[in-house]
Amino acid sequence: MLTINRFLSVLFMITVSALFGSFITYYVGEQNTKAKIIATNFHQVMHETSYNISTELNNLNNLNNFKALLDRKAAQNHLISALVIARGKQILLTTDHSIRKLPKHIHHHTQHQSVNRHFILDNSVHELEFEVYQQNKPIQLSLLLFANQPEIKNYFADTYYQYFVFFIIPTLLVFLFLHQLLKKFLVKPLEKLRLFAYYHDRTPQPLKIKELETIRSSMLQTFQLLSSEKQALYRSSRTDALSELPNRYQLNERLEWLIEESKRTNTPFAYLFLDIDNFKKINDTLGHDAGDEIVVNVAKIMQEALRAYDIIARVGGDEFVIILSKYQNLIELNHIIDRVLLKISQEQIVSNQSINVSASIGVAFYPKDGTDGQELMKSADIAMYEAKKQGRNQHHYFTEELNQRIQIEVNLEKELHLALKNNEFELYYQPKVSSKTKNIIGIECLVRWNHPEKGLVPPGEFITIAEQSGLILPLGDWILKEAIENQLHWQQQYNIQLPVSVNVSALQFSHKDFFNKLETLVNELNFPANFLDIEITESVLMENTQEHLNTLKKIRGLGATISLDDFGTGYSSLAYLKIFPINILKIDKSFLDDYDSKSGAIFIETIVNMAHNLKIDVIAESVETEDQLNFLKQINCEAYQGYLCSKPLPEKEFIELVKNSLSTQA
């Protein structure tokens, strides 16, 4: 491609050639003019001299008289070296005695001939023939002019030099000047613009040439816009838009830096994982705008409560990471964390409502609990989970023990999924017994897990995890179906007509499809629903009260009964018994443990009486001794469950038990 420099060089060459051409033509013209002047001059000298001689000479012997004339003529003109008069080949008179012979090449002078530089330079001897009369007889003589060739050459060379000086040098100077001008105003600014376009760091000063200046200023505008957009993009890619806190990306960046620093100085730091409590519920009830407002508030509170060098980042919907690296000791760290939690839990006004927000924090330490962002996050998350588990609005430190427990839970969860596929679950059955007659009046289904390695796993070890992982839904479906199918089978096969109680977890119960599924199942199997009892816990009554009340009513509408399980472990609010359509109250083992103390006994009796007043039956759970049974009889508690009668049994053994019991009744 053509560069400006190359373009200028070509331009230079063209200019120089053109100048040189015109110089040559001019120069040659000049030289020829000079040649003509010299030729005319020679012509004049020869004519004048020959005229003088021819008019004044009448005898050849007097020719010497003209020697002075010839000498004078030759001396007057520095371009003439000698004048010679000859007759034929014989020299008669000469101004230069060194000329003894006539040269071969002689130019015969005529008036009309074309004269140029070569003519002058090539012909050193010019001849003019003339006649003189001696006694009226014409004699042919010739006048020879010897040109001073070196002098003539010099003469021409002189002008050559002059031209060079006056013509070429100024041209070159002008050209150089132009070149410099172009360089200064065009080449350099263009180069600056090029560099600016490449690196856009050094902004060139305003340029002199208008077009270039337009380009420069528009480039400047573009780059300024680009760089501000780039900065905005960089900022937004590293900042959470809602809270304006650093996002996960920036957190990782700063964490990497902090880890390096921490390695160097050998000081640990605390990695906190904060999660707003019940955030989903807030979002669901107050709306997402309120949720956003809370996130912003919490972010602000943290920024106010912590110091500028603490790192605070938003890493999820309601999840934040705080990194504290400057604390004296664990007591101070505890204070800082508690201060944050306290400020968050102070009343907040959101969407014109005052609500109570709280958060849970898990704490992990670098390098003890993790050596990179991922490990620290995982450990802090585990600790945070524990804080939630222990009642929320608190912090919990990560421990290895906690980690192992979580690991076990995680593994268990994986195994549970497989267990359902591999049909490893089995129902055990425990009789419900009449206190007075000891007759079996009902059955409770209790799930067991036949683990291929661990053997029989009781539900206490996996129900919670099944609930956490959502596996309780398919498992619960399976239990209900299994319980109803077996009951039908027993009715038909062994004429066992006993209501079957199925435990339904809160999560399963609150699922929107729970009742529909139950209804479909009952209808499909053509199962008499009055043989079905659903055991729920108080937690079902406490959450989503209206919805759950409706579901309970529908279950009752189907013909099934409702048992309230574990009464005495939760809130045990008597108000529930009034509101909810409950058929049976199951008094928990913990109440019964106290039956032999006076207050304990009164307590149980009161509950039984009150339930009876509300037309609710009572079953005591975990009855193990005759004494307990006797007490129950005394207070008119009509039924019980417990080892006193039987442990939960696998199907076959349970059928045997029931058959035996029926035969003793008969």
DSSP state of 425: E
Among the listed residues 83, 576, 642, 655, the single contact to ligand C2E using CB under 6 A = 642
| Interface pattern 463-502 for ligand C2E (x via CB under 6 A) | x---------------x-----------------------
Taking the complex as a whole, the smallest distance from the CB of residue 653 to ligand C2E amounts, in Å, to 14
Q: Does 585 bind ligand C2E (CB under 6 A)?
A: no
Q: Is 189 in the site for ligand C2E (CB under 6 A)?
A: no
CB burial readout 290-322, b (16+ within 10 A) else e: bbebbbbbbbebbeebbeeebbbbbbeebbbbb
Reduce the DSSP state of residue 628 to 3 states and report it.
helix
Which segment (115-123, 124-132, 503-511, 520-528) binds ligand C2E by CB under 6 A?
503-511
Q: Angle at Cα 533 formed by Cα 527 and Cα 537, nearest 5°? A: 145
Residue 641 partner contact from Ca ion, ligand C2E, none using kind-dependent CB cut-offs of 5 to 8 Å: ligand C2E
CB 363 within 8 A of CB 337: yes
Closest to 254 in 3D by CA, of 189, 312, 187:
312
For residues 358 and 277, the answer to whether their CB atoms sit within 8 Å is yes
Of the candidates 73, 79, 43, the residue with the CA atom closest to the CA atom of residue 151:
79
452 lines the binding site for ligand C2E (CB under 6 A): no
469 binds, among ligand C2E, Ca ion, none (CB under 5 to 8 A by kind): none
Least distance (Å) between residue 359 CB and ligand C2E: 30
The candidate with the shortest Cα–Cα distance to 537, out of 513, 573, 512, 496, is: 573
CB 450 → ligand C2E: shortest distance, Å? 14
566 in contact with Ca ion (CB under 5 A)? yes
The CB-side HSE value for 425 (13 A sphere, CA atoms) comes to: 27
Q: Please answer whether residues 616 and 582 qualify as being in contact, where contact means their C-beta atoms are separated by less than 8 angstroms.
A: yes
Measured distance CA(191)–CA(210) in Å, rounded = 16
Angle between helices 472-494 and 514-524 (to 10 degrees): 20
Q: Is residue 447 part of the contact set for ligand C2E (CB under 6 A)?
A: yes
The answer to whether residue 275 forms part of the interface with Ca ion (CB under 5 A) is no
User: Which of positions 600-639 make contact with ligand C2E (CB under 6 A)?
Assistant: 621-622, 624
Per-residue x/- track, 610-629, Ca ion (CB under 5 A) = -----------x--------
Residue 503 engages Ca ion in binding (rule: CB under 5 A):
yes
Smallest gap from Cβ 630 to ligand C2E, in A, equals 16
Q: How far apart are CA 176 and CA 403, in angstroms?
A: 83
Should residue 461 be labelled a site residue for ligand C2E when binding is judged by CB under 6 A?
no
* Minimum distance of ligand C2E from residue 403's CB (angstroms): 26
Q: Closest distance between ligand C2E and the C-beta of residue 564, in Å?
A: 11
Q: Which is nearer to Ca ion, 340 or 564 (CB)?
A: 564
**Preceding peptide of 367 cis, ω within 30°:** yes
CB of 289 to ligand C2E, least distance (A): 37
Task: Count interface residues toward ligand C2E (CB under 6 A).
Answer: 21
Select 49 or 503, whichever has its Cβ closest to Ca ion. Answer: 503
> CB 249 → ligand C2E: shortest distance, Å?
42
Which span sits near ligand C2E by CB under 6 A: 16-24, 415-423, 522-530, 641-649? 641-649
Number of residues that bind Ca ion (CB under 5 A): 5
Does 641 participate in binding ligand C2E (rule CB under 6 A)? yes
Q: Which is nearer to Ca ion, 272 or 532 (CB)?
A: 532
CB 243 within 8 A of CB 299: yes
Bridge partners for 322 per DSSP: 272, 312
Where is 448: in which H helix or E strand? Answer: strand 440-451
526-565 positions binding ligand C2E, by CB under 6 A: 565
Binding of Ca ion at residue 415 (CB under 5 A)?
no
Q: How far apart are CA 589 and CA 628, in angstroms?
A: 11
The entry of ligand C2E, Ca ion, none that residue 505 binds, CB within 5 to 8 Å by partner kind: ligand C2E
- Write the single-letter amino acid at 662: L
Question: Among residues 96 and 467, whose Cβ is nearest to ligand C2E?
Answer: 467
Contact 314, 240 (CB under 8 A): yes
For residue 42, give Cα distances in angstroms to 48, 72, 74, 153, 208.
10, 14, 10, 16, 62
Structure tokens at 353: 């409502």
What 8-state DSSP symbol labels residue 459? G
Residue 535 lies near Ca ion (rule: CB under 5 A): yes
Q: Compute CA distances 141 → 86, 96, 147, 300, 622, whole Å.
A: 6, 18, 19, 130, 172
The encoded tokens of residue 576 equal: 């529930």
Of these partners, ligand C2E, Ca ion, none, which one is at the site of residue 447 (CB under 5 to 8 Å by kind)?
Answer: ligand C2E
- What is the nearest approach in angstroms of ligand C2E to the Cβ of residue 441? 16
The Cα–Cα gap between 620 and 644 comes to: 12
Q: Does 455 participate in binding ligand C2E (rule CB under 6 A)? A: no
CB 620, min distance to ligand C2E, A: 10
566 binds ligand C2E (CB under 6 A): yes
N- to C-terminal Cα distance for the chain? 115
b/e per residue 367-384 (b: at least 16 CB within 10 A): eebbeebeebbbbbbbbb
Which of 204, 317, 367, 459 contacts ligand C2E by CB under 6 A? Answer: 459
Q: Which does 479 bind (CB under 5 to 8 A by kind): Ca ion, ligand C2E, none?
A: ligand C2E
Task: Candidates 240, 381, 415, 565: give the one binding Ca ion (CB under 5 A).
Answer: 565
Q: Does position 386 bind Ca ion by CB under 5 A?
A: no
From 199-207, 276-284, 532-540, 553-561, give the range in contact with Ca ion by CB under 5 A. Answer: 532-540
User: Strand, helix or coil at 246?
Assistant: strand
Q: Does 648 bind ligand C2E (CB under 6 A)?
A: yes
622's contact among Ca ion, ligand C2E, none, with CB below 5 to 8 A by partner kind, is ligand C2E
Site for ligand C2E, residues 424 to 443, rule: CB under 6 A: 430
Residues that bind ligand C2E (CB under 6 A): 430, 445-447, 458-460, 463, 479, 503-505, 565-566, 621-622, 624, 641-643, 648
Residues that bind Ca ion (CB under 5 A): 503, 535, 565-566, 621
